[in-house]
Structure 1
Amino acid sequence: MKTGHVELARAQQERWQTAYAHHPQLHGSEPSAAAQWAAEAFGAAGIDDVLELGAGHGRDALFLARQGFSVHATDFSESALDQLRLEAQREGLDDRVTAALHDVRDPLPPADATVNAVFANLLLNMAFSRAELRSLVAEIHRVLCLGGLFVYAVWSVADPCSANWQQLDGGLSVHDGFVGRFFDEQLVAELADQWEFGDATPYDEGRRRLWRVTLTKPAS
């Protein structure tokens, strides 16, 4: 693991591991709105394989697999991934879904330009410094093929729930032991550097206000 927020990162990993262990199917079984949109975007682009980062217990990975995609899902909670694997096996999707323990603060496992699509729902909201966010997005750029798509969703600073979070240093906030970051347009634009910018669409999901962002790795 790289330096920078190391103690915070370890504490958050333990917090999420405990949450998934104590509350199976923590986020429910229905796919996120971002995953439903991403499935259409990936399908329209002729993509049939997806790397999902921060997959949790797999509600989106399983949804994408049901749509016919091959999904390689990663998360830093073994408890969450165990739930994903068991559900994939129960649904007969284990030939389309693989799951691996990985902390995205470390370099991504794929080789350069070997991945067609990357999906991340709320991962970028987690307890990353801005430097760690830039490093992660650069890694995603590295592993994507030319013309590959990166779709992610993040909480917006316009999210009414942000009022319940206590502000920390570095633009982070904390609520109920979980640390995260709410995104503004400036940060979305900053992370889009070196990419072809598709869109940044604000939307509501339940009580939350989010951004859905689509980036393409330039073909040349």
Structure 2
Amino acid sequence: MNKEATENMEKTVLNSQQPHWENVFSNSSSRFGDEASYPARRAAELFKKEGKTKILELGGGQGRDSCFFANEGFSVHVLDYTESGVRSIKEKAEETGLSGFVKALRHDVRDPLPFEDETFDACYSHMLYCMALTTEELEFLSSEVKRVLNPRGVNIYTARHTGDAHYGTGTLRGEDMYEIKGGFIVHFFSREKVEQLAAGYESFEVEEFEEGELPRKLYLVTIRKED
């Protein structure tokens, strides 16, 4: 198989993750539970300390962190690339009386973000960066987030890293992406990948934490736009 055919096959496999997640969210209304995640709580602390009020969340899933942010007093615009995820977010916001603080849209982050320059005080995403996104697509996303952030805006994201027990297991799908049990493709981050994606920002910080079964090992990355 030539290089072009191989790349086309890999692209088809990566694109198949959208209907896979659509099916996952359709079969469970709380795939990851209803409690706010650790990174969401950490992010909220920083946002409050620095007076960040208008938040963009990428890959909101089923809305556990989206509704947490809204309940903490933030205005949240949340994007997810599944219809079932967006529907779940809207339903949870409505049920908890937070629909006025949560706006959910379906969007693929491989495309330009549907917002004007300097729209948000901060951006947040939990494990969106370690989905089936190539490094080129991640670099584009990082530049798009920077574009929609206000000066001194903060981007906080998490990603599973190469110290995770699943790294190197399953089927290699290009770069450091592996298709693991359940059909999920994970892009495992090295420290160098974090630095690469912070290019063009003023500074970045990295915290390591663990979550869930195995447990999963992740980076919590905070990068800041210049004035």
Structure 1 residue identity aligned to 2:48: G
Using structure 1 for the length normalisation, give the TM-score: 0.94
Q: CA deviation at 1:48?
A: 1.0
2:217 counterpart residue number: 209
Percent identical among aligned pairs is: 34
Q: Is the 8 A contact 1:8 1:127 kept in 2?
A: no
Q: 1:129 aligns with which of 119, 128, 134?
A: 134
Q: CA deviation at 1:165?
A: 3.3
Q: CA deviation at 1:197?
A: 1.9
Q: Is the 8 A contact 2:127 2:160 kept in 1?
A: yes
C-alpha RMSD of the superposition = 1.6
Deviations along 1:95-139, one digit per CA (max 9) or x if unpaired, are 111100000000001111121110010000011111001001010
Using structure 2 for the length normalisation, give the TM-score: 0.91
Q: Distance in 1 between matches of 2:203 and 2:186?
A: 24
2:23 counterpart residue number: 18
Q: Distance in 1 between matches of 2:11 and 2:88?
A: 26
Q: CA deviation at 1:9?
A: 4.2
Q: Distance in 2 between matches of 1:24 and 1:85?
A: 12
Matches within 5 A, 1:1-220: 6-162=11-167, 164-175=169-180, 176-206=182-212, 207-219=215-227
Q: CA deviation at 1:84?
A: 1.0
Decide whether aligned partners of structure 1 residues 22 and 102 sit closer, same or farther in structure 2, where only a CA change above 3 A counts. Answer: same
Q: Distance in 2 between matches of 1:199 and 1:169?
A: 27
Q: Distance in 2 between matches of 1:148 and 1:55?
A: 19
Q: CA deviation at 1:166?
A: 2.8
Structure 1: runs of 5 or more not aligned = none
Q: Distance in 2 between matches of 1:48 and 1:76?
A: 24
**Range 202-211 or range 115-124, more displaced:** 202-211
Q: CA deviation at 1:162?
A: 2.8
Q: Distance in 1 between matches of 2:59 and 2:190?
A: 21
Q: Distance in 2 between matches of 1:168 and 1:148?
A: 33
Q: CA deviation at 1:164?
A: 4.3
Structure 1 residue identity aligned to 2:225: K
- Count of residues in Structure 1 that have an aligned counterpart in Structure 2: 217
**Range 202-211 or range 32-41, more displaced:** 202-211
Q: Distance in 1 between matches of 2:70 and 2:81?
A: 21
Q: CA deviation at 1:143?
A: 0.8
